[in-house]
Chains A and B, each alone.
Chain A
Amino acid sequence: MDLTQLTLKEAIDLAKKDGAQPLLDAFSKRAQALNPKINAFLRFDPAKVEKNTEPGSLHGVPVSIKDNICIDGREVTCASRILAGHVAPYNATVIEKLKKAGAALFGQCNMDEFAFGSSCETSAFGPCKNPWDLTRVPGGSSGGSAAAVAADMTLAALGSDTGGSIRQPAALCGVVGLKPTYGRVSRYGLIAFGSSFDQIGPLTKTVEDAAILTNIISGHDPKDSTSASQNVPDFTQALQRDVEGLRIGLPKEYFIEGIDPEVEKSVRQAAEVYRKLGATIKTVSLPHTEHSVAVYYIVAVAEASSNLGRFDGVEYGLRVPAKDLREMYFETRDQGFGQEAKRRILLGTFVLSAGYYEAYYLKGQKVRTLIRQDFEKAFREVDVILSPTSPTPAFKIGEKTADPLAMYLSDIFTIPANHAGIPAMSVPCGFKTVPGTMGTGSGTCPAGVPGTVELPIGMQLMARPFDEASLFRAGYAFEQEVGIYKKKPKL
């Protein structure tokens, strides 16, 4: 039996009996073999994976962490040169919770630099590749987390989602990705991008696995003033394969020109599956959707420009020696940040500048309120909203790097949930077959054979604030019905 193919749930059951060591060995071996090819982990040292003998619910199984979440005593870089070598002096709250639950902290996952991107190509330490087609991107920014789960290099991973950074790579890599409600999971120890958008969430092989991890990482944290005091239900209770009577809405603004026909077809078929399972399907309207991306690139980058000010060469990370303080700032930030980071810092600085603040930031906040109200209205009619996660399956590496606007549109369906703070989950719902060559390149992958590759398609489920339970309920019922999570990339 290949232990790396187990789900988190199955692995926990195994570890309960036999201990976690066989799992750690199997994943170490596979990760070592595949990482040179996929580059999903920025740091991975099997010798350093601490065994966890806490009597928690995870029984020592390996979980990997996006490289913008602090682990005490370990390097954390946000895939940026400016933080290379920076060792976190404390644990993020989610890390404390995972450790207490008995997780063995495994690899640290590649990502877009400071989570700025939808393709993992802005990583200063080389792009991560999509396990379904190594010439394509895994999505981003949590591309490393998604690719590692998809390639069975880890049992599960944590990512972070500011505008779709968990859901879009989950869709492109064929795994489950949940962005919990804003405030559900503590942000303490997550290196901030857009503080009023950021949420940590799980990337897993199944909906059930996502529920298990969400149970562990959720809850109020006195160290995070934006964390909510709402009770955390046991989300595994929602996994009942029952959507009878569930009202599901299809937002008409999400089925637009430019969307890949295969993606649209796949999501509409998913709606049919739900109808057959007893849910009611209706069309809803989210009229302010078209402004989502524009407003996001005002408000989120404004916050980012401020959040990234601290990387100034004074206290930690890169410092480029220079003749005076001013030059040191210029040189350090010039050499430390990549192009996309610079673009967003400039944009954010601009929109907050005197004379522009009202026209951009303040107006953006008002539109954000309208987007939130769109959802409030829609959720009076339906319990869950179903849409594509991404307008297209995984695109080619380099395809959109020259066109930032095209890249930004990859998140067109995921950004609204971040504006509104509502929970949203991507669940695999199909594949698109395209011409391609699998296993190109060297290493342990087989020699490239021209033919076709299958690219995963993800659907997005959105629900009311703090109603992750409905997402698990709907996601689980669909997943169990169609069973596509069992399909693996050929590596």
Chain B
Amino acid sequence: MQYEPVIGLEVHVQLKTKSKLFCACSTEFGAGGNKHTCPVCLGWPGSLPVVNEAALKLAIRAGLALSCQVAERLQFDRKNYFYPDLPKAYQISQYAMPVNGKGELLIETKGSDGTVVEKKIGITRAHLEEDAGKLLHEGIPDGSLVDYNRGGIPLLEIVSEPDIRSPQEAYEYLTALKAVLQCIEVSDCDMEKGSLRCDANVSVRPTGQEKFGTKAEIKNLNSFKMVAKAIQYEIDRQTELVAGGEKVVQETRLWNDAKGVTFSMRSKEEAHDYRYFPEPDLVPFTLSKETVAAIRKTLPELPRARAKRFIRDLGLTEYDACVLVQEKRTAEFFEACVAAGAGARAASKWILNELLAILNEKNIAIEDCLVKPDALAGLIRLVEGQTINNTTAKAVLLDMAATGKAAEAIVKEKSLAQVADAGLIERAVDKALAANPASVADFKAGKQKALGALVGAVMKETQDKANPKTVNEILLKKLSS
């Protein structure tokens, strides 16, 4: 029997506000222990919460970008449980009347025939809640410490429908979600800093069966890749159980990345009864249509729309367009580069294949890069005008990234301009032919590959400055004569 997985994701993103959700404390990351706390976020007796309007607006903004039904009336609820990182013994969350109802997110996924197709992943809801503090165990001999700096920071919990059918789709969903949320500037979505967290609900069922199987919830997933890996492990584990006639237990499981396995944390019987009820300290309130409309007006072009425009108007491939729009600043850099005169396909190629590699290696953001969009356009012009060849251009780009100089200046300074002088190239070709008799013989014996070696030898002779096209022509002429 064939089995198919059913996957739903719960994503928590930290909203980019200056202050916490229910008090004026700073949301700054990495401050000293309990530096950003007050009676409200510490849950001291007598303190009361007040909703941060900026957080509410960001939540609505995210809801609109995810095509959610934004609530007309919303309410906060208390989720009650005991844990030292939760100072009030309840989390103020939203249960019955979340700010954002049903929505959807489009992802790119491979169809059964291998072609790229668009797929709609439903969003169940996206609601506001406060974060908990952080427990510190390391280096503390007899107990634990609690840092409440994170306590009360606004989170948006985005719950997907169980529409995801593979680890790859889960990965694509997270990538697309991150792209949207970064694009509309509601969250940094930085998993390392904890500003994006993800739990996965996974079940399997016989292909064709409508009823869902029993699900397990997987926690402790620290990267998108880890999410995909853990889901794959879980699918395999559950399929083996079900195929062997056993039952999947409804439970919460933790991913152990070092061992590459999930293991049981608590079963359904041990699950909390959160005793949700409306937060009496915050009365339900109404959102005016005008407020929502005003927020909608400020939404930028979303990544999916931008990618479609890149394909339609600029002739990019589906793949390039999708990768470019994943990071808003990359897409902006690309557009600026095209505006500065570079061809769209060339700009895309240089950014995705070369510039991003340099940035990754240096571990810097594109906006901090010394190569500005117009400078990259300048480099592309030199390549297209055949002043330098690709190999030289890559070296020039590295130089540009290190020094911030213009491509023309570097080419001039280091005399890297391409040699188009046929006489010069001809002498280099003769030298190469004389020095590589074996390759010549191979080529004449029909081995096309030998030509590459000979071109390489000529390029070396000209210090990579020769125009490869001219080299090819002259070589072929000489070899065939």
Contacts and interface: CB of A to CB of B under 8 A. Distances in A.
A344 to B, nearest CB: 15
A399 B463 CA distance: 106
A325 B80 contact: no
Interface string B84-106: 10011110000000000000000
B74 interface: no
A15 interface: no
Given A303-B280, A329-B82, A352-B80, A314 B46 contact: no
B146 interface: yes
Contacts of A315: 42-44, 87
Given A86-B45, A226-B282, 20 more contacts: A69-B46, A89-B44, A90-B46, A90-B47, A187-B48, A189-B46, A189-B47, A196-B280, A222-B50, A224-B48, A224-B50, A305-B275, A306-B78, A312-B89, A316-B45, A349-B275, A352-B80, A352-B275, A353-B275, A361-B277
B359 to A, nearest CB: 44
Interface string B358-389: 00000000000000000000000000000000
A361 B95 CA distance: 15
Given A325-B84, A361-B277, A191 B46 contact: yes
Contacts of B80: 305-306, 309, 352
B283 A225 contact: yes
14 contacts: A191-B46, A195-B280, A224-B48, A226-B281, A305-B80, A309-B80, A309-B88, A310-B88, A315-B42, A329-B82, A352-B276, A354-B273, A357-B276, A357-B277
Nearest to A83: B45
B162 interface: no
Nearest to B148: A315
A196 B78 CA distance: 14
Contacts of A312: 82, 84, 89
A233 to B, nearest CB: 23
A188 B277 contact: no
Interface residues of A, number: 44
A277 B281 CA distance: 42
Contacts of A224: 48, 50
Contacts of A325: 84
B7 to A, nearest CB: 26
A192 interface: yes
Interface in A294-316: 302-303, 305-306, 309-312, 314-316
Interface in B272-293: 273, 275-277, 280-283
A316 B47 CA distance: 14
B283 A226 contact: yes
Contacts of B46: 68-70, 76, 88, 90, 92, 188-192
Tell me the dominant secondary structure on chain A's binding face. Answer: loop
B275 A310 contact: no
Contacts of A357: 275-277
A226 B76 CA distance: 13
Interface in B335-349: none
B452 interface: no
Contacts of A69: 46
A353 B84 CA distance: 22
Interface residues of B, number: 28
B337 to A, nearest CB: 49
Contacts of A225: 48-51, 281-283
A316 B277 contact: no
Contacts of A349: 275
Interface in B57-83: 78, 80, 82
B39 interface: yes
A223 interface: yes
Contacts of B82: 309, 312, 329
Interface string A195-238: 11000000000000000000000000011111000000000000
A89 B39 contact: yes
A361 B77 CA distance: 14
A189 B46 CA distance: 4
Contacts of A187: 48
Contacts, number: 101
Interface in B19-67: 39, 42-51
A37 to B, nearest CB: 30
A224 B40 CA distance: 11
Among B50, B84, B275, the one with the most A-chain Cβ atoms within 10 Å of its Cβ is: B275
A69 B45 CA distance: 9
A371 B84 CA distance: 39
Interface in A312-359: 312, 314-316, 325, 329, 349, 352-354, 357
Contacts of A309: 80, 82, 88-90
Among A196, A309, A349, the one with the most B-chain Cβ atoms within 10 Å of its Cβ is: A309
B273 A76 contact: no
A354 B48 CA distance: 26
A89 B45 CA distance: 10
A116 B36 CA distance: 34
Contacts of A189: 46-47
Contacts of B49: 225
Interface in A222-280: 222-226
Nearest to B38: A90
Interface string B229-264: 000000000000000000000000000000000000
A195 B48 CA distance: 10
| 8 A-B pairs with the lowest CB-CB distances in the bound complex, closest first | A309-B89, A195-B280, A352-B275, A196-B280, A191-B45, A189-B46, A70-B46, A314-B84
Contacts of B47: 90, 188-189
Interface string A62-75: 00000011100000
B11 to A, nearest CB: 25
Contacts of B42: 315
Among B42, B48, B82, B88, the one with the most A-chain Cβ atoms within 10 Å of its Cβ is: B48
Contact of A188 (B48, B146, B282): B48
B151 to A, nearest CB: 11
A386 B48 CA distance: 34
Contacts of B39: 89-90
A191 to B, nearest CB: 4
A325 B137 CA distance: 13
A314 B147 CA distance: 12
A88 B46 CA distance: 9
A314 B281 contact: no
Contacts of B50: 222-225
A309 B45 CA distance: 11
Nearest to B50: A225
B82 to A, nearest CB: 6
Interface in A169-191: 187-191
Contacts of B84: 312, 314, 325
A310 B89 contact: yes
Contacts of A353: 273, 275
B44 A316 contact: yes
Contacts of A196: 280
A84 to B, nearest CB: 13
B277 A352 contact: yes
A305 B88 CA distance: 12
A168 B479 CA distance: 113
Among B45, B80, B146, B273, the one with the most A-chain Cβ atoms within 10 Å of its Cβ is: B45
Given A188-B46, A225-B51, A314 B87 contact: yes
Contact of B281 (A191, A195, A329): A195
A89 B38 CA distance: 9
Contacts of B78: 306
A170 to B, nearest CB: 23
